[in-house]
Amino acid sequence: MLEYLTFGLITQLFVNGILFGTMYGIAAIGLSLIFGTMRIIFLAQGAMIVFFAYISYWLFTLLGVDPYLSLIFVVPLSLLLGSGFYSSLFKEAAALEDKNISLLIAIGLMFLVENLMTVVWTANPRSILTTYSSFVFRPIGIIIPFTRLIALLMAVLSASGVLLFLKKTLIGMAVRAASEDMESATLMGINPHWVNVVAFSIGIGLAGIAGVGLATIYSFDPMYGFIFAIKALIALAFGGMGNVFGALLGGIILGLLESWASFFIGAGWADAVSYAVFLIMLMLKPEGLFVRSVQTA
Amino acid sequence: MGNHLLEVKGVDVLYGDVQVIWDVSIHVEEGTIVALVGANGAGKTTLLKTISGIIHAKRGEILFSGKSLTRLKPQEVVDIGISHVPEGRRLFSNLTVLENLKLGAYPSRARPLFAESLERAFSLFPVLKARKGQKAGSLSGGERQMLAIARAIMAHPDILMLDEPSLGLSPIFVKTIFELIYALNKQKVTILLVEQNIHQALKIAYQAYVLKTGKIAISGGGDELLADPEVQKAYIGERWSKR
């Protein structure tokens, strides 16, 4: 059996996986940053991604703005919303020992955004159809949709941008330091609210980029985000909490898993397989695939 | 009385409902080394945390150059010139040695002096220069303690608070660390030292306080306490008899 499994097909599955996975990856990077400094899983990340997809959709249908051009508006808006959300909703709770309160606020925010979107845009799926939506590249016989390729590019660029920021700037170092040991970071003169704002803004900023990518690829509805947040969480678990590069790789691994599972087992199985692998992963290597071991110092 | 650089006046500290510091007053003169000694759980670490703003006193006042810092947050305390090397070093182990030092100079008072501070840190701790690209987590225990102290002096502190700097180090490194503390003090850094290594601490201290279950039990000059039969019996003698 499996004689239909040609080199072209394997490559295609591989490419599909990577194209899917990078979207999970940038959502996971956002989760990773927010988790790093605030120690909560920001479950509203998926709803925020869909929200920005709708913004891009609105700009396209109402004003005729090309979705990629809408990034000029969506990215600053998402950064602003990120810092606004932190200062208004999370600032008080972030200082508390009990992180469950921040988590509950995130869940509340998720429901609020989802339901507001249902009111404004209805529960019907929406999608953006541009002249290039069905355009595909066919290098060496495999199919690469143009919008997916651009989404991949956006994901890789934004992930590299975030990594550079974290590695090269002083505030980026402060974010990394705070992710490791917040109390020790404050002894260095680092203001916890400031690193939280930065992590939050970048996290939501990445949701903005993912939202635009999503809007050009899939049809989406207000409740779509939750699945996305769960997928990002799985990617995060693969990569290891608080590991930015790992989060991107985790997303890609998840994308590959889904691509292979839906082909070899059946499309309906893709989610079941990824959740199962997620659970097995948590049982066997809870610290993530790319973390050598839990370091204490 | 000379001018106190740091003054803790009648401080009470509680963890929840449990009081761990009772009406403690200490003062630190500029340019001196002050030792805070006592058994485990006596409240030494808590007192340092209270000074650096990690915890806040229920009652009492903490003055630095006459200004109150009782209500300041840790990031504000370090910015006015008090650096705290916490117990257990608390390095950022996934960051490199150089990155740790850069963050040490994060307070606005220290940023313009970064190049100069880095040179000072590297001349005091040459081993850190050799390891500057290495992750802090990969250093040995002694090197970690050096990095923790170097990181703290990157902030250009007027007072350096050290919590158990000799803990877990080999005897040779303990000696090195105490020599370094002495050398730093000669460079006009005032030192507030918490130690379980009481004998060593009292030897270099100008002034010392013995904390016992959250209260000041005895205080006096370092030599004075070293010769005090009560201190010898209760703390130093006990340590010696264990060996």
**pLDDT tens digit string along B149-202?**
999 999 999 999 999 999 989 888 899 999 999 999 999 999 999 998 888 899
Distance (Å, whole) CA B141 – CA B135: 13
Collapsing DSSP states into helix, strand and coil, what is residue B87?
A: coil
Residues in chain A closer than 8 A to B79 (CB atoms): 189
Mutate to test the interface with B, among A167, A171, A188, A241 (most CBs of B within 10 A): A188
Residue B177 domain-assigned? no
Do residue B166 and residue B67 come from a single domain?
A: yes
Chain B residues in contact with chain A using a Cβ-Cβ cutoff of 8 Å: 52, 54, 73-75, 78-79, 83-84, 86, 88-95, 99, 102-104, 106-108, 110, 136-137, 144, 151, 155
> What range defines the domain where residue B221 resides?
1-81+159-170+190-243
Per-position pLDDT tens, chain A of length 297 = 566 778 888 888 998 899 889 989 999 999 999 999 999 999 999 999 999 999 999 999 999 999 999 999 999 999 999 999 999 999 999 989 899 999 999 999 999 999 999 999 999 999 999 889 889 998 888 889 999 999 999 999 999 999 999 999 999 999 999 999 999 999 999 999 999 999 999 999 999 999 999 999 989 999 999 988 999 999 988 887 767 888 999 999 999 999 999 988 988 888 899 899 889 988 988 887 776 544 433
Q: What is the largest CA-CA distance in chain B?
A: 50
Do residue B59 and residue B166 come from a single domain?
A: yes
The secondary structure of residue B135, as a DSSP letter, is: B
pTM score, whole prediction: 0.91
Do residue B2 and residue B56 come from a single domain?
A: yes
Assigned token pair, A40: 């909560």
| pLDDT above 90: percentage of residues in chain B | 79
Are B206 and B32 spatial neighbours (Cβ–Cβ below 8 Å)? yes
Give me the residue from A181, A189, A296 closest to B107, CB to CB. Answer: A189
Are B88 and B34 spatial neighbours (Cβ–Cβ below 8 Å)? no
Q: How many domains does chain B have?
A: 2
Residue B179 domain-assigned? no
> Is the CB of residue A190 less than 8 Å away from at least one CB of chain B?
yes
Collapsing DSSP states into helix, strand and coil, what is residue B204?
A: helix
Beta-carbon contacts of residue A209 (< 8 Å; ≥ 6 apart):
A26, A71, A74, A75, A78, A154, A155, A158
Q: What is the CATH number of the domain that holds B69?
A: 3.40.50.300
Do residue B68 and residue B11 come from a single domain?
A: yes
- Residue A224 to residues A26, A53, A211, B20, B105, Cα–Cα distance (Å): 17, 11, 11, 52, 45
Yes or no, beta carbons of B95 and A177 under 8 Å apart: yes
Q: Which of B132, B157, B182 is the last residue of a domain?
A: B157
Architecture of domain A14-130+141-284: Orthogonal Bundle (1.10)
Distance (Å, whole) CA A138 – CA A142: 5
Yes or no, beta carbons of B91 and A176 under 8 Å apart: no
Distance (Å, whole) CA B26 – CA A120: 63
Q: How would you write chain A as a 3-class SS string? A: CCCCCCHHHHHHHHHHHHHHHHHHHHHHHHHHHHHHHHCCCCCCHHHHHHHHHHHHHHHHHHHCCCCCCCHHHHHHHHHHHHHHHHHHHHHHHHCCCCCHHHHHHHHHHHHHHHHHHHHHHCCCCECCCCCCCCCEECHHHCCEEHHHHHHHHHHHHHHHHHHHHHHHCHHHHHHHHHHHCHHHHHHCCCCHHHHHHHHHHHHHHHHHHHHHHHHHHCCECCCHHHHHHHHHHHHHHHHCCCCHHHHHHHHHHHHHHHHHHHHHCCCCHHHHHHHHHHHHHHHHCCCCCCCCCCCCC
Do residue B100 and residue B42 come from a single domain?
A: no
Do residue B36 and residue B136 come from a single domain?
A: no
Q: Between B241 and B210, whose confidence is greater?
A: B210
Residue B154, pLDDT score: 96
Are B20 and B43 spatial neighbours (Cβ–Cβ below 8 Å)? yes
Do residue B215 and residue B227 come from a single domain?
A: yes
The secondary structure of residue B129, as a DSSP letter, is: H
Do residue B166 and residue B68 come from a single domain?
A: yes
Tell me the CA end-to-end span of chain B in Å, nearest whole number: 41
Yes or no, beta carbons of B54 and A187 under 8 Å apart: yes
Do residue B164 and residue B75 come from a single domain?
A: yes
Residue B237, pLDDT score: 56
If pLDDT is split at 50, 70 and 90, which confidence band does B242 have?
Answer: very low
- Across B67-98, b (16+ Cβ under 10 Å) vs e yields eebbebbbbbbbbbbbbbbbbbbbbbbbbbbb
Task: Name the residue type at position B87.
Answer: E
Distance (Å, whole) CA A192 – CA A202: 16
How big is the CA angle at A107 (ends A103 and A112), to the nearest 5 degrees? Answer: 145
Residue A291, pLDDT score: 64
Are A19 and A148 spatial neighbours (Cβ–Cβ below 8 Å)? yes
Residue A267, pLDDT score: 84
Yes or no, beta carbons of A174 and B52 under 8 Å apart: no
Mutate to test the interface with A, among B103, B113, B143, B159 (most CBs of A within 10 A): B103
Do residue B21 and residue B139 come from a single domain?
A: no
Collapsing DSSP states into helix, strand and coil, what is residue B140?
A: coil
Residue B134 domain-assigned? yes
> Is the CB of residue A176 less than 8 Å away from at least one CB of chain B?
yes
Residue B185 domain-assigned? no
- Phi, psi for residue B7 in degrees, rounded to 5: -135, 125
Question: What is the overall mean pLDDT for chain B?
Answer: 91
Residue B182 domain-assigned? no
Do residue B59 and residue B21 come from a single domain?
A: yes
Is B130's pLDDT higher than 90?
yes
Cβ neighbour number for residue A290 with a 10 Å cutoff: 14
Is B133's pLDDT higher than 70?
yes
Residues in chain B closer than 8 A to A185 (CB atoms): 92, 103
Residue B234, pLDDT score: 75
In order, the DSSP letters of B28-47 are EETT-EEEEEESTTSSHHHH
If pLDDT is split at 50, 70 and 90, which confidence band does B93 have?
Answer: very high
Distance (Å, whole) CA A131 – CA B217: 82
Do residue B3 and residue B40 come from a single domain?
A: yes
Yes or no, beta carbons of B104 and A191 under 8 Å apart: no
